[in-house]
Structure 1
Amino acid sequence: MIQRIQTFFLVMVALFAGILPFILNLWVDGEGAEFFAKNELWMSIVFYGSAALALISIFMYKNRQNQFVMNRLNMILNLFLLGFFVYRSLSLSGENTISEKGIGMLIPVFSIVFLVLANRAIKKDEDLVKSVDRLR
C-alpha cells in the first residue's frame, strides 16, 4: 500500500538526504569557501545511504516490522551524521577567522523528525491490523 502517509514521510527523507546536501552548503569556512556534501566521499555515501534506506523502506510495506526496523537504522545513521555536524560546528566556532554554519547542517534533524513520524504511522497501522485480527 504505497498510498499511506508514511510513504510521504519516507519520500521526504529520501529527498532531504539525497538532493538537499548537494545543493545547500553545510558550512562556510574562514576563507569563504562553501562546503557541500560532495566535497567528502564518506559524507556523500552517508547521505546517499540514508536516502537509499528510506527508498527501500517505502517498498517494504508488506512487512511493517522490517520497515519499522529499517527506519530505526536510518535514524541511527542520521544521528551519527548529526553528531558529526555538532562536533564540526563546535570546532568551527573556535577559529580565529569568522565562519558560518550552513542550513544544510539541519538536514539530519529534519530527516529524523520525518522518520519518527513515519514510524508512528507504521505503528498505528500495525495496531489497526492487530485489532482487526482480534475481532475475527
Structure 2
Amino acid sequence: MDGKMLARLGAVVFVGFAITATVIEVTRKPEETQVRTLVHERDDTDALRQVLRRCRDMGEAATRDPACLDVWAKARERFLGQSPKPFQPGGTRTPASEAPVTLFPTEDTAIKESAPAPKDTAPVAQPEPVRPGAH
C-alpha cells in the first residue's frame, strides 16, 4: 500500500466519522429544561425586614432603641431556629439580664475578681552576661 492510498483511506474514515457524528447530533431530542420557582412566604418577614432596615439606618442609636433590640432578638431566634414564633411589630422585649454588662472593667473590679496571687513571689536569678575578653 503506498502513501496516496493510505491518505485516501484516512480521509474516507474521517469523513465517515464526521457524517456519523452529525447524524447523531441532528436526530437527538433536546432535553426539556426544568423551571422551578421559589416560593417565599412574605407575610411576617416583610414587617421584620422593614424594622431591621430601619434599625440598620439608625446607626448606633439603634443599640438603645427597645424596638430594635426586640426585632434583633426575634431575628436571632428565627435564624438559630430556637423559636418558630412569627414576628409581631408590637412585641414585648425580655431583657437578657438585669445587671448591666461592662465591656472594659476598671482595675479595681479586675483585681477583685481575679484569683489571689501566688505566695512565692521571689525574683528569679538571672545569669550575668558574658563580657568580651573576660574569661
Q: Same fold (TM over 0.5)?
A: no
More strand by share: 1
Structure 2 length-normalised TM: 0.26
> How high is the TM-score relative to the length of structure 1?
0.26
Structure 1 or 2: larger helix share? Answer: 1
